[in-house]
Chain A
Amino acid sequence: GENVEQHPSTLSVQEGDSAVIKCTYSDSASNYFPWYKQELGKRPQLIIDIRSNVGEKKDQRIAVTLNKTAKHFSLHITETQPEDSAVYFCAAYGGGSYIPTFGRGTSLIVHP
């Protein structure tokens, strides 16, 4: 089955800095890669996603890049703000699967 590795587990940055979270996956047939933001005690919320036919996608301060050859995808947050502090999860949907495999999560802390 699919295996997703996420790094780092904790990321601490100063307000205004950029933050990058990386995930690797094992199934070369995986074709959909969403990213979720989860605040303490709340449900995960989809913040951005990318499909395997696209290399990069951007939405304001958030971007995701995908390298299919290397089987890794990354979340980029620019101009971080304290409200960006949360746990971020990557996920990958294997080819033909409707059940995602989640990464272990990255706790992002943005210091004012």
Chain B
Amino acid sequence: GAVVSQHPSWVICKSGTSVKIECRSLDFQATTMFWYRQFPKQSLMLMATSNEGSKATYEQGVEKDKFLINHASLTLSTLTVTSAHPEDSSFYICRAAEGPYNEQFFGPGTRLTVL
């Protein structure tokens, strides 16, 4: 299968700081990327869908000003958690596809801990 990487794999930050998570498709061009959040012992919750060169579409209840998504190239999407708080601590996973209806590949995830 195709390779999707995320960086960093884990991050610990202080409350109030911003954290940027990168998602890269290494061997294909990802027109579409999805960002998920997963709290402990819970399911994957879709936060937003982004298409390269367009603004991201956020799911209901997800604050777009708090979770900034940039998908400026066909191989890179970033999620920035602004002014992070302890309740933002979670496992963030990206998923990339060549197109919305193509096979989708998960990144390895980023564990965010906000103190």
Contacts and interface: CB of A to CB of B under 8 A. Distances in A.
Interface in A64-112: 89, 98-99, 102-105, 107
B106 A105 contact: no
Q: Tell me which of A42, A98, A104 has the highest count of chain B C-beta atoms within 10 A of its own C-beta.
A: A98
B43 A103 contact: yes
B108 A42 contact: yes
- For chain A, the bracket of interface size reads 10 to 19
Contacts of A104: 42-43
B106 A44 contact: yes
A12 B87 CA distance: 31
Interface in B31-83: 32, 34, 41-44, 46, 49
A89 B36 CA distance: 14
Interface of A: 41-45, 89, 98-99, 102-105, 107
